[in-house]
Amino acid sequence: MIELRNLCKTFRSADHTVEALKDISLTIGDGEIFGVIGLSGAGKSTLVRCINLLERPDSGEVLVDGRDLTKLSSKELRKARKSISMIFQGFNLLMQRTALENVCFPLELAGVKREAAKKRAQELLQIVDLPDKAGAYPSQLSGGQKQRIAIARALASEPQVLLCDEATSALDPKTTQSILALLKKLNRELGVTVVVITHEMRVVEQICTRVAILDHGEVQETGLVSEVFSNPRSDAGRRLVLPEGEKIHVLPENRLVRLVFNGASAGEPIISTLAIEQGIRLNILSADTRSIGEKTFGEMVLGLPQDETEAARALLYLRELEGVTAEEVTSYVQ
Amino acid sequence: MFSDSELVLLRSILQQDLLKAIWETLYMTFVPAAAAFVIGLPLGVLLVTGDEGGIRPLPKALMKALNALINLLRSVPFLILLVVVLPVSKLLVGTTVGSKAMLAPLAIAAFPFVARLVETSIREVDAGVVEAAQSMGASTWEIITKVLIPEAKPALIANFLVALITIFGYGAMAGLLGGGGLGALAVNYGYYRRKEAVLYVMVILMIVLVQVFQSVGDRLVKKTDKRSR
């Protein structure tokens, strides 16, 4: 279990200071895939780098399995780091070593014998689906392949925790998908706790169970991904989930209903079903939905009919839909 | 173009002194280069790792002193440094003339230069890779020996080649003040005795040697570097 308690970090330069982390507390459970999302400059990278103390917080505690890393000697810390692996946006492979030798690197640090290390590295390349690239140099590999090698290298020390610092941000969408699927598989099969730092919602949506929204060095909200993304309570959360949510429209004429899609079946035509089967016509005022796999996420604001009974029937229908939450609202955000 | 007597002299020099001169030139190049490398490599690494923000920052005063010393040695022109350091040679090898006497001055002139070249080579290593090694629990020593030096190897070889050719040039200059080798032949016959044929032949030989160093070195760099394939 990772517990961050009251982390503070301020960067100072000659002309200005930046408070990167302001009293951050988070708990990440064993075996979970935890997301930290925020816009650039929110302090995400500083936060993740505090977990293995690549960045030392000014104050606060970093407890990994109950042990405060900030209190360890440098030798103990180096040992502790071997169970907390990290992958990076820029992959950070050794350019003068082959893929296999890169994976051997942490094994060398652990004092594993050369032959045993090579054998283990070959197995790890198998796990990341690149067994045939053992002899290739990083310059001969694509971005996705490099990240797979980096993941194999990160796994070599059999870590309990895998920190991913914007690990898919330099990759194209398709490669991102495959890397995320790999991380999910590793989490499931090896039980490794994964901490994902990203600015991309879809990354969190796809693999994380819980998420923390970070903004201006503060945790704005934490919760299950399904809850936070379908119903963000903080301003920062709303800005992330509804990117253009600035103008607020008030329509006093009609009653409004806000539908929150939280995994409703994408194939179901809600609006047309109401119109055709019940003869109730709804006005779509705003919609921001997306389909992930077979499911729909996001929200939609509908204007209910003037007629009270029709409005009530429509509400009833909408409230009974699976994977959709309907609530009456008085204003909406476009 | 050249008088007969000059050509006779040239022939006798080529027959009697040339091999020895080439040997002395190589000796005055590689021995000081090796010494400069042995001193300059750790020093150059230290300049990077001990820097503020390096992997093992050292006291600022120490780093400033180190930088000042290197700059000081580098700003003294070689021939003047040679004059200043010759007493050290007397102490070490008992003489101030000949190739052996030139070794210490050449090494002292070259190591600060090598240290700077090593520094720039090491600084080229991607900070992210160093960070990755740190995240894996590598110690400072492991980062230096397993990351910084191996990753900088092509740049180190290329820069060492630059140093080698500079030392070669210094070695020829040392011919003016009692050193041996091709430089001494060129100076003693070509300058003091106005035998230009000897001068030209020596210059051509030196050019050929530098070309050989450079092309062997270039090939080595290309073979070592795994980044561009």
Between A48 and A256, the higher pLDDT residue: A48
Do A85 and B135 form a contact (C-beta atoms < 8 A)? yes
Q: What is the pLDDT, as a whole number, of residue A267?
A: 63
Give chain A's domain count: 2
* CB atoms inside a 10 Å sphere around CB B195: 23
Q: Which of A74, A81, A86, A95 to mutate to test the interface with B (most CBs of B within 10 A)?
A: A95
Checking ipTM against 0.85, whether it exceeds it is: yes
Cα–Cα distance measured from residue B78 to residue A329, given in angstroms and rounded to the nearest whole number: 84
Q: Are residues A144 and A255 in the same domain?
A: no
Q: Which residues of B touch A84 (CB under 8 A)?
A: 135
Q: Which residues of A touch B153 (CB under 8 A)?
A: 96
CB contact under 8 Å between A109 and B126, yes or no, is no
Q: Is residue A246 pLDDT above 60, yes or no? A: no
Of A79, A82, A88, nearest to B132 by CB-CB distance is A88
Q: Are residues A37 and A159 in the same domain?
A: yes
What spatial distance separates the first Cα and last Cα of chain A, rounded to whole Å? 40
Q: Are residues A102 and A204 in the same domain?
A: yes
Q: Is residue A68 pLDDT above 70, yes or no? A: yes
Q: Is residue A227 pLDDT above 50, yes or no? A: yes
Q: What is the pLDDT, as a whole number, of residue B113?
A: 97
Of B135, B142, B225, nearest to A54 by CB-CB distance is B135
Q: Are residues A267 and A324 in the same domain?
A: yes
Q: Are residues A328 and A304 in the same domain?
A: yes
Note the Cα B56 to chain centre separation in Å. Answer: 28
Cα–Cα distance measured from residue B13 to residue B200, given in angstroms and rounded to the nearest whole number: 13
The percent helix, strand, coil of chain A (3-state, each to 5) is: 35, 30, 30
- List the structure tokens of A241: 């989930």
The percent helix, strand, coil of chain B (3-state, each to 5) is: 85, 0, 15
Q: Which residues of B touch A88 (CB under 8 A)?
A: 128, 131-132
Beta strands per DSSP E along chain B:
none
Q: Are residues A255 and A209 in the same domain?
A: no
Of B134, B142, B229, nearest to A137 by CB-CB distance is B229
Of the candidates A240, A265, A280, which is a domain's last residue? A240
Q: Are residues A45 and A156 in the same domain?
A: yes
Q: Is residue A329 pLDDT above 90, yes or no? A: no
* CB atoms inside a 10 Å sphere around CB A268: 13
Query: Which domain, by its residues, includes A56?
Result: 2-240
Q: What angle do CA A297, A44, A237 make, to 5 degrees?
A: 35
Domain B4-224 has CATH 1.10.8.100: no
Give A98's contacts (C-beta < 8 A, 6+ positions apart). A134, A135, A136, A137, B226
Q: What is the pLDDT, as a whole number, of residue A334?
A: 52
Q: What is the pLDDT, as a whole number, of residue B229?
A: 54
Q: CATH number of the domain that A114 lies in?
A: 3.40.50.300
Q: CATH number of the domain that A295 lies in?
A: 3.30.70.260
Q: Can you give the pTM of this predicted structure? A: 0.81
Q: Smallest Cα–Cα separation from A28: which of A4, A56, A55?
A: A4
CB contact under 8 Å between B226 and A157, yes or no, is no
Q: What is the pLDDT, as a whole number, of residue A73?
A: 95
Q: What is the mean pLDDT for each group of 10 consecutive residues in chain B (229 residues)? A: 84 89 95 97 97 93 96 94 92 91 95 97 96 96 98 96 96 90 91 89 94 96 86
Q: What is the pLDDT, as a whole number, of residue A20?
A: 92
Do B140 and B56 form a contact (C-beta atoms < 8 A)? yes
Residue A209 φ then ψ, to 5°? -95, -45
Cα–Cα distance measured from residue B140 to residue A74, given in angstroms and rounded to the nearest whole number: 11
Q: Which residues of B touch A52 (CB under 8 A)?
A: 135
Q: Are residues A28 and A111 in the same domain?
A: yes
Q: Are residues A107 and A206 in the same domain?
A: yes
B132 contact A CB<8A: yes
In this prediction, residues A68-81 reach a mean pLDDT of: 95
Q: Are residues A154 and A286 in the same domain?
A: no
CB contact under 8 Å between A96 and B129, yes or no, is no
Tens of pLDDT, residue by residue over A81-105, are 999 999 999 999 999 999 999 999 9
Q: Are residues A98 and A22 in the same domain?
A: yes
Tens of pLDDT, residue by residue over A248-296, are 454 556 788 888 887 777 666 777 888 887 788 888 877 777 777 677 7
CB contact under 8 Å between A86 and B132, yes or no, is yes
Do A326 and A257 form a contact (C-beta atoms < 8 A)? yes
- List the structure tokens of B128: 């992210």
DSSP for A273-331, written as a single string:
HIIIII----EEEEEEEEEETTEEEEEEEEEPPSSHHHHHHHHHHHHHSTTEEEEEESE
Q: Which residues of B touch A81 (CB under 8 A)?
A: 134-137
Q: What is the pLDDT, as a whole number, of residue A7?
A: 95
Q: Are residues A209 and A325 in the same domain?
A: no
**SS3 category, A261:** strand
Q: Which residues of B touch A98 (CB under 8 A)?
A: 226
